[in-house]
Structure 1
């Protein structure tokens, strides 16, 4: 059983860790990455103790983010072929 259920809006984005974080009672931070969320993971774990929380979020928000990144990548450059 998880320690708590936490809305993603109540978590903070940590640029250094590249993860959403939430304070753990032990003094460390529960952590979950965007990649975890895109894969449907909903458990944020504390690296210092055995506690974990269930993250409440809309998976479609993260899938839409992933799809938009794929659609906006620059096209691959083609090599120019010279014929002599």
Structure 2
């Protein structure tokens, strides 16, 4: 999203967020008492806006997306740059669409 389209409450470094390894989300306290949330999968897709599910506030998460995408096998051996994001966990629960 372009900055003019989003009214952000704040910008927060990823180091100041909490990571829930089970849910694969980063979260940060919201002034309303709930918390801002963003999934690791959204961040790997380039999303940097965390939303609070209880109010309309949003924050931008500042992080280095280097190596967020899955590297090709040949690149994996030579790639030494680090990302701010944790490694992918293939055992983590994924989103599932349920049709009624």
TM over 0.5: yes
- How many residues align? The count is 68
Structure 2 spans left out of the alignment, 5+ residues: 1-6, 77-100
> Higher helix proportion, which one?
1
**Runs in 1 of length 4+ with deviation above 6 angstroms?**
none
The residue aligned with 1:4 is 10
CA RMSD of aligned residues (A): 1.7
Larger Rg: 1
Deviations 1:31-76 (A, max 9, x none): 011101110001000000000000101111423xx33xx749xxxx
1:23 aligns with 2:16: no
Structure 1 spans left out of the alignment, 5+ residues: 73-84
**TM-score normalised according to structure 2 size:** 0.61
The residue aligned with 1:53 is 59
